[in-house]
A = this chain, B = another copy of it.
């Protein structure tokens, strides 16, 4: 069935391609995702796939956007109603570890995968990734600062190091699960987070 000019159907096509790209990327890395393999998965021609995005980098960027959207939905949306400070921080630890343990992608948490894939590269994906992660870091920092001000955390709390620790623990859930077969990775990460926060 060639050539339905319905903008709505096209949008659905885009989404299915991006979803397939995310699935593949979670296993092999976003940079190893190939137009040809995507075309096979979504049962389209290569030109039909790339035609939606004009360039591969645009497809990668839209995939990253999906990752952020997922993270926002699964983590931020369940936490934003909590009062800023220690309560929201602890709620974030819950939602965050839960998300990393069951991210909805076959190869584990795509946020983690993309982070380690593009940390040492240049380009638009690297830049967008950094921007998105910084937004989350800012939230964590705000919660920590508020918690310290409120007296819920010790005065000498090293905010930057705590943020580092939380991100570390969340990021190791995927390899612990996939490589070492650790099915309790999420709860270990959660336990570590509490210890790092030191509440």
Interface of chain A residues 106 through 155 with chain B (CB within 8 A): 107-108, 112-113, 115-121, 126, 129-130, 133-134, 137
Residue A198 lies at the interface, judged by CB distance under 8 Å to chain B: yes
Cβ contacts A167-199/B at 8 Å (1 or 0 each) = 111011011101110101100110110011010
Bound CA–CA A130/B29 (angstroms): 19
Q: Is the CB of A119 within 8 A of B174?
A: yes
Q: Chain B residues near A120: list those with CB within 8 A.
A: 26-28, 107-108, 113, 174, 178
User: Which residues of chain B are within 8 angstroms of A28 by Cβ–Cβ distance?
Assistant: 31, 120-121
Most chain B CB neighbours (cut-off 10 Å) among A107, A119, A129, A178: A119
A172 in contact with B178 (CB, 8 Å):
no
Copies in the complex: 2
A158 within 8 A of B: yes
Which residues of B lie under 8 Å from residue A175 when comparing CB positions? 115-116, 119, 171
Question: Which A residues lie at the B interface, using CB under 8 A?
Answer: 26-29, 31-32, 107-108, 112-113, 115-121, 126, 129-130, 133-134, 137, 158, 160-161, 164-165, 167-169, 171-172, 174-176, 178-180, 182, 184-185, 188-189, 191-192, 195-196, 198
